Amino acid sequence: MAKITFQLKGARELQRAIAKRPMMMATQTKTIVAKHGALLEKKVAQNMAATYLPKKQGGYSTGTTRRSLSTTFSNAGMTVAVAPHTEYFSYLEFGTRFMSARPTLKPAFAYQSVQFVNDLKKMMK
């Protein structure tokens, strides 16, 4: 099973600014990371609810993938990982030769990463 990883690498200017004002920036950055980690998990869950139809609506979903979502913080709160933990999630996200892709994580990440960068830019002003 392939592991799915998305990363957002920041601009060098932001990294330099954080290094210049470490205590204030670190606290604000951790708050922003936590906020957007929670929002990303919520958006992924909403996408899953809309994309994976339950059995009573003619789909196959039992809600296991949505319930398996977790948010994990590391790097002293500067890194957040939002991931589902079902073995078959990559098949749902990217599809197979028998099934078309039903992406939920990538669109949520694309949306939330823009919001995350905007909040970081606001912090710099």
Q: Are 66 and 104 in contact (CB under 8 A)?
A: no
- The pLDDT of residue 95: 93
User: What is the rounded CA–CA span in Å between residue 111 and residue 99?
Assistant: 25
Domain membership of residue 51 as a residue range: 12-124
- The pLDDT of residue 71: 93
User: What is the rounded CA–CA span in Å between residue 102 and residue 31?
Assistant: 31
In a domain, 72, yes or no: yes
Tokens of 64: 């296991």
In a domain, 118, yes or no: yes
Tokens 């949306």 label which residue? 111
In a domain, 96, yes or no: yes
What value does the mean pLDDT of the chain take? 84
Domain count, the chain: 1
User: What is the rounded CA–CA span in Å between residue 43 and residue 47?
Assistant: 6
Cβ atoms within 10 Å of 25's Cβ, excluding its own: 17
In a domain, 76, yes or no: yes
Give whichever of 10-14, 53-57, 103-107 has the largest mean pLDDT: 103-107
In a domain, 2, yes or no: no
